[in-house]
Amino acid sequence: MSPAKPKPRRTTAGPPSPVRAPRPGGQPAPAEAGRLLVFVKAPRPGFVKTRLAASLGVEAATLAHTELVGVTLDRIAGSANVTLCFTPADAEAEIASWRRPGWALLPQVAGDLGRRLERAFACAFAAGAARVAAIGTDCPDLTADDLGAAWRALDSADVVLGPAADGGYWLIGLRRPQPALFDGIAWSTDRVLRQTLAAARAAGLRIGLLRELRDVDDEADWRAYRAGRLVDSRSAGPS
């Protein structure tokens, strides 16, 4: 998931309302057992894949971003109850073609990644979801089996994390809102997973860990992905 700058003080404003897919007869979608949040960025040159752009150029990095989004959405195409959480907030038209039938759209709120994750989870739980998981679009090794493993882990765990090789995580899943897991995290560092695990333990939460995967962030990652050599570790990650 994309890193961000230090977060501002939270407000007490409620979560934004998702743009829901229409249902026959105009009836609202029913509350679901699980909701998958996919954090996506509009494919704007200079806005996406800035680390990759530093070596490959802005246009090539934008094309790489679009390709990675496509790979991720193809991998989860069979999933129901998906919300594309997009940024910037005025980018709905730009990401509309990525929306599959039955999927919802939700603009991300302003603030750092922690605030944006917290608000998206709050919105999903407020809408009736019993379990919520969030992923980004930078991990092309993600499979439908990985998502299945995450949902199964949430049967017994309070928080499920998919460790990333760079020290972050490629998935976080919850059974109820846990704002403490998004507070005080050093986003964009190799301490993200470690600090999140520490926060979960401090809150007395049961933790589930998935296999470790590798994000595509820089030129080395991109070339490895294109060559089909991305690390595909089956390690459960740190405990």
Mind spelling out the 3-state secondary structure of 72-103? HHHHCCCCCCEEEEEECCCCHHHHHHHCCCCC
* Sequence letter at residue 20: R
Residue 27 lies inside a defined structural domain of this protein: no
Residue 15 lies inside a defined structural domain of this protein: no
Q: Is residue 29 within 8 Å of 20, Cβ to Cβ?
A: yes
Q: Is residue 40 within 8 Å of 84, Cβ to Cβ?
A: yes
Residue 66 lies inside a defined structural domain of this protein: yes
Residue 18 lies inside a defined structural domain of this protein: no
Structural domain total, the chain = 1
Residue 3 has pLDDT above 60, yes or no: no
SS percent in the chain: helix, strand, coil, step 5: 35, 15, 50
pLDDT digits over 195-223, tens only? Answer: 999 999 999 999 999 999 999 999 999 99
| Band of pLDDT at residue 228, cut at 50, 70 and 90 | confident
Q: Domain range spanning residue 144?
A: 32-226
The model's pTM: 0.82
Residue 114 lies inside a defined structural domain of this protein: yes
Residue 138 lies inside a defined structural domain of this protein: yes
Residue 232 lies inside a defined structural domain of this protein: no
pLDDT score of 137? 97
Residue 23 lies inside a defined structural domain of this protein: no
pLDDT digits over 72-127, tens only? Answer: 999 999 998 999 999 999 999 999 999 999 999 999 999 999 999 999 999 999 99
Domain with residue 212: its CATH number is: 3.90.550.10
